[in-house]
Amino acid sequence: MTDSIFQKIIDKEIPAEILFEDDKCLVFKDINPIAPIHVLIIPKKPIEKISDSKKEDTEILGYLLLKAGDIARELGVEEAFRLVVNNGAGAQQTVFHLHIHLIAGREFSWPPG
Ligand code: AMP
């Protein structure tokens, strides 16, 4: 896998507004937010998309969801937020490094577009 823009953020080659970082994941603000709160939660492991994840990724995938809950609480939006994972170009994935969108701070509708 060639380095994606998110790998460059992990490697600090390009800047981002980082909210949280540890050895397993990085959380930073989306550069083009679609809601007052829009952050991205990514694994440091370079998994291109959720359908590429393997059994060995069980722990990191669970960790990312737990982290999403932590971040939502820290941002005070734990009662109403949405997590989105776009998988593949046909689902509007544009950056091929797995990421969870955490979106909050506005009205939601269902179904999503
Ligand atoms: P997706 O379409 O699901 O692949 O989402 C990719 C997201 O990455 C989009 O919401 C972009 O706005 C966001 N994005 C792209 N480049 C950057 C960047 N340099 N810093 C922060 N967010 C970015």
pLDDT, tens only, 3-26: 899 999 999 999 999 999 999 999
Strands 100-104 and 81-84: antiparallel
Q: Residue with structure tokens 């990191």?
A: 60
End-to-end, the C-alpha distance of the chain in Å comes to: 29
CA of 34 to the centre of ligand 1 (A): 11
| From 12, 95, 96, 97, mutation site for ligand 1 pocket: most ligand atoms within 8 A of C-beta | 95
**0.95 exceeded by pTM:** yes
User: Going from the N-terminus, what domains does the chain have, and what CATH number goes with each?
Assistant: 5-104 (3.30.428.10)
Distance in angstroms (rounded) separating the CA atoms of residues 4 and 44: 12
CA of 99 to the centre of ligand 1 (A): 9
- Would you place residue 74 in the very low, low, confident or very high pLDDT band (cuts 50, 70, 90)? very high
99 labelled catalytic? yes
pLDDT tens digit string along 27-68? 999 999 999 999 999 999 999 999 999 999 999 999 999 999
Determine whether 111 is exposed, middle or buried from the number of CB atoms within 10 Å of its CB (0-12, 13-18, 19+).
exposed
